[in-house]
Amino acid sequence: MANLGHSQKGHKRPLPLQALMPQVPRGNYLHLLEEKQRLQLKKFLLHRMFLVANTQANLEKKEIAEYYEQVFQSILKHHLGEAVTGLLLIYPTSLLHILESSSDTLYQILLDYLDHERKETDYFVQNMKIIVISHNIPTRFFMQWHVSVIKVPVMYLDDVTQSQSLNEVITDFLTQTHKLALHLFKSMKAGAKGPGDNLHQVAPELLLPEQIIKYLLKCEQFMDPQTFMNMYNKPIHVTMDSEVVWPAPSRFYS
């Protein structure tokens, strides 16, 4: 009996299979990017957004500059260290806006536009379209946010939008805007006030014709801010039909 009792005390339950399996730490691509940013002493992933829109006639540069600066300062109170840099080109009846910042800050700028659109207030920007958002860019093209008015209309011999496909037009758009941004990056010194309103004289070959902006505004392939935000806020996990049937499907494991 003593031997029986001793054997019972010495008997141990087998460990569960999960405890026997080595616990390998798992990560994902987002964690990898965040760690990369941390090692580079960056607080957030940097993104670049290209916007086009129609504008009111006779738009004053000072008015729009003061407005956006107030928007940026308001957002900065809730997103410390996420400054906005970029370039706003004001054409006679349209604009091209390049913005660089964190994703949260860029989305707040879109929400500000949607807030004016819902209230149907007299706003200087209409029919905005998002052309492209470049995610996790390595560096900024712009050290500050600048506004430039394209005052002198440029005459074009032909309308390229009539002879080119959408892919060709958007390729030209991205090529020209990146060339212009790179030119300003190399030519502007830190702390400079901006390129001024004489870009049509300094770099006329790098300026996009307004007709291209008008063409992109009419294309249904590009999202407006409302459609983009609806897609952004949509849940990633989709409920499958098998998850809502009754009785619930059961799985048996051997």
- Residue 209 inside a domain? The answer is yes
Please give the pLDDT value at position 95. 93
What CA dihedral angle connects 210, 211, 212 and 214, to 10 degrees?
Answer: 90
- Identity of residue 88: L
Give yes or no for residue 163 having a pLDDT over 50.
Answer: yes
Is pLDDT above 80 for 65? yes
What per-residue confidence (pLDDT) applies to 248? Answer: 54
Flag whether pLDDT at 4 surpasses 60. no
User: Could you report the per-residue pLDDT of 171-185, keeping only the tens digit for each?
Assistant: 999 999 999 988 888
Of the two residues 19 and 216, the one the predictor is more confident about is 216
Q: What is the pLDDT of residue 70?
A: 93
pLDDT: which is higher, 115 or 250 = 115
| pLDDT recorded at residue 192 | 64
Provide the pLDDT for residue 102: 92
Structural domain contains residue 20? no
pLDDT in tens, 82-111: 889 999 999 989 999 999 999 999 999 999
- What's the domain range around 146? 41-232
Answer whether residue 227 is part of any domain.
yes
Q: Which residues of 114-126 are buried (b: 16+ CB within 10 A; e: fewer)?
A: eeebeeeeeebbe
Q: Does some domain include residue 14?
A: no
Domain contains 245: no
Best mean pLDDT range from 12-21, 104-113, 136-145, 237-246? 104-113
Where do we find the tokens 């003061």?
Answer: 66
What is the enclosing helix (H) or strand (E) of 225?
Answer: helix 225-233
State the pLDDT at residue 41. 47
The CATH number given to whatever domain includes residue 105 is 3.30.70.100
29 found inside a domain = no
- pLDDT reading at 16 higher than 60: no
What per-residue confidence (pLDDT) applies to 157?
45
> Per the domain annotation, does 185 fall within a domain?
yes
Q: Position of tokens 């964690």?
A: 31
Predicted confidence at residue 200, as pLDDT, reads 76
Domain count, the chain: 1
pLDDT in tens, 44-64: 789 999 999 999 877 788 888
The pTM for the full model equals: 0.73
